[in-house]
Structure 1
Amino acid sequence: MDHKLNMLAEILKRNSDDPDSIDMENEVDHYFFFQSISNTDDLEAAWALFDEHKEIRSRLLNLESNTREIPGWGYLVPQLDQVGCSEDELLALVSSHISMLRPLLLEEDYNDEITSFIDRGFSIEIAPPSVEIPDVSDNELFGVLYEAISDYLIEHYPYDIPHYAVLRNWAIYLTKCDEVACYLLWPCLKHKLTLPDSCMDAGAKLWKLGCRDRYWVKDLDYESKTVYVRAPWMDKRI
C-alpha cells in the first residue's frame, strides 16, 4: 500500500474502537475520515499529508457553521432555521453561480439551449409563492450546471496520488452534494482553465441556504430570459 495511505490507516486505527477492521483500500473507511479522528495531534498529522490542507480546512470552517449532522449517517445538512439572506443577496448568489460555471459547461449539442440562454443574458427574479418549483428532473438549468460541476471534479482531480482518494471520498460524503465537494476540493484540482479561487463559493453558499436546486428558468421557457429563485423561508409568504 502507498506510504501515505498507510500513514492515514495507522492514524485512523489509533482513533478507532475496532482498529483491525480498518482497510484504507475500502472507500467506506474514507467516509467522514477526519471527523473520526479524536486525537488533536493525529488530526493535524493526517491533514498535513495533503499539500492544500490549509485552504481546504479554511473552506471547511466556512462551511460547517449553521449545519447539523444527520444522526446515524454522519453527513451534514444546513440548519435552515438559522440561515437566511436578503433578496438582493440571493439574486446575486444565483447570478454569480451561473456566471462562474459558464466556462465549465460542456460544449455539446444537448447543452445548446442552456448555453444560449446564459450567453444571451438574463434577469433573475424571486419566484412568487404561487409558482411551483419544478422537480429536479425537469430543471434543465440545474441539471446542466450540476453535470458541469461533477464532470469538472472527475476530470481534474489528482487520481494519480493514491492517498488523495481518501480526501475525495471524505469531501463527497461529508454533505453528499457535489457543489460542496467541489468547493472543498477546489485547491487541489489540476485546473486547465484560468478560473478564480472563488469559482464554487456561490454554489456552496446556495447549499447552506437550502437553495442549491431552487433556481430555474421561468416557466421552463428559454424565451423568458428570466431565472426564478425562491428560498425555503419565502415559500409561505403571502
Structure 2
Amino acid sequence: MNQKLKLLEDILKRNSEDPDSIDIENEIDHYFFFNAIHNKDDLEIAWSVFDEHEDIRNRLSKIQNNADSIPGWGYKTPNLDYVKCDDEELKRIVSLHVSSLRSILLEEDYNADIITFIDNGFKVEIAPSNIEIPGTSVNTLFGVLYEAITEYWIEYFPYDDEHYEVLKNWAIHLTKCDEVATYLMWPFLERSNDLTDNTMDAGAKLWKFGCRDRYWVKDLDYSSKVVYVRPPWLDK
C-alpha cells in the first residue's frame, strides 16, 4: 500500500462511525468515497492526493448540477425536469459523441460495418414516436462505442499508482455510467494526439439528457446513413 492510499484510508477512518470496518484495499470502501468524508479539511486533503483534482472536481460539478440521488444509495441520475435541449443541439451532441470516439474504436472484423458507417458519413435525426428504441443487446452502435470507451481506460489507466483505484471505483459507481466515469477520469488518462480534453464531453452530456443509450442506426440498417435519437421528454 503506497503512502497516498494509506492517507486515504486514514481519512476515511476518521470520518467513519466504525473505523475498524474500513479497509481501503476493499473496493466497497471506494464507492461514494468522497461522500463519506464529512470534515471539510479532510475532504480537501483527500482530493489533493490526485494531481488532476481541480479538473476532476470541475467536471464533477457539471455532473452533479441538476442531478438527483437515489435515496439510500447515492447514485446520481439525470434530472430531466430541469435538463433538456432542443432537437438541433441534441443531434449535434450525438454526432459529436460518435465522431469523437471514432479513433479509439477497436479495429476488429466485428466492428467493420460500424466503422465504415461512421467513415462514410451519417446524419442524426430525431426518431418518430412510433419507432421502438432498440435494446442495448441489439444496438450495435451503442455497443461498439461502449466497448471502445471501456477498453480505452482499461488500457491507459495508471495501475502503478494504487490510490487511483479509489478514484476509478468512485467514478464508476457515482452514476453507474461508464461514459460519465471516463469523463471524470479523463484528466489522468494517457491520451494520444488525436484525442482532446473534450473527447468525453458529449458522452457525459448524453447521460445528462437521459440519452446515454437512446441513439442507434436507423432500422439497424447501415445503408440508411442515419443515426436516430429520441430523448425521454418526447416519450411523454
In 2, the alpha carbon distance for the partners of 1:199 and 1:109 equals: 25
Structure 1 residue aligned with 2:145: 145
**Residues 210-221 of structure 1 mapped to structure 2, 5 A cutoff:** 210-221=210-221
Structure 2 residue aligned with 1:104: 104
Q: 1:128 deviation in Å?
A: 0.5
Structure 1 residue aligned with 2:200: 200
Whether 2:121 is the aligned partner of 1:121: answer yes
Q: 1:83 deviation in Å?
A: 1.3
In 1, the alpha carbon distance for the partners of 2:83 and 2:27 equals: 33
Structure 2 residue aligned with 1:20: 20
Aligned length: 236
Deviation digits for residues 105-143 of structure 1 (CA, Å, limit 9, x no counterpart): 000000000000000001110001011101111100000
Structure 2 residue aligned with 1:33: 33
Q: Is 2:124–2:226's contact at 8 Å kept on the other side of the alignment?
A: yes
Give the counterpart letter for 2:44 in structure 1: E
Moved more, 184-193 or 82-91: 184-193
Q: 1:14 deviation in Å?
A: 0.8
Whether 2:67 is the aligned partner of 1:67: answer yes
DSSP-derived class of the 2:124 partner: strand
In 1, the alpha carbon distance for the partners of 2:133 and 2:179 equals: 20
In 2, the alpha carbon distance for the partners of 1:143 and 1:99 equals: 15
Q: Is 2:206–2:212's contact at 8 Å kept on the other side of the alignment?
A: yes
In 2, the alpha carbon distance for the partners of 1:172 and 1:130 equals: 34
In 2, the alpha carbon distance for the partners of 1:192 and 1:117 equals: 23
Structure 2: stretches of 5+ with no match in the other structure: none
* Identity, % of aligned positions: 65
Deviation digits for residues 43-74 of structure 1 (CA, Å, limit 9, x no counterpart): 00000000000000000011101111111222
In 1, the alpha carbon distance for the partners of 2:136 and 2:13 equals: 40
Structure 1: stretches of 5+ with no match in the other structure: none
Calculate the TM-score normalised by the size of structure 2.
0.98
Q: Is 2:83–2:208's contact at 8 Å kept on the other side of the alignment?
A: yes
Whether 2:235 is the aligned partner of 1:235: answer yes
Calculate the TM-score normalised by the size of structure 1.
0.98
Q: 1:193 deviation in Å?
A: 4.1
DSSP-derived class of the 2:84 partner: coil
Give the counterpart letter for 1:71 in structure 2: P
DSSP-derived class of the 1:169 partner: helix
Deviation digits for residues 69-106 of structure 1 (CA, Å, limit 9, x no counterpart): 11122211111222100000000000000000000100
DSSP-derived class of the 1:72 partner: coil
DSSP-derived class of the 2:38 partner: coil
Q: Post-superposition, which runs of at least 4 consecutive aligned residues in structure 1 deviate over 4 A?
A: none
**Residues 145-184 of structure 1 mapped to structure 2, 5 A cutoff:** 145-184=145-184
Q: 1:194 deviation in Å?
A: 3.3
Give the counterpart letter for 2:91 in structure 1: L
| RMSD between aligned residues | 0.8
Q: 1:178 deviation in Å?
A: 0.3
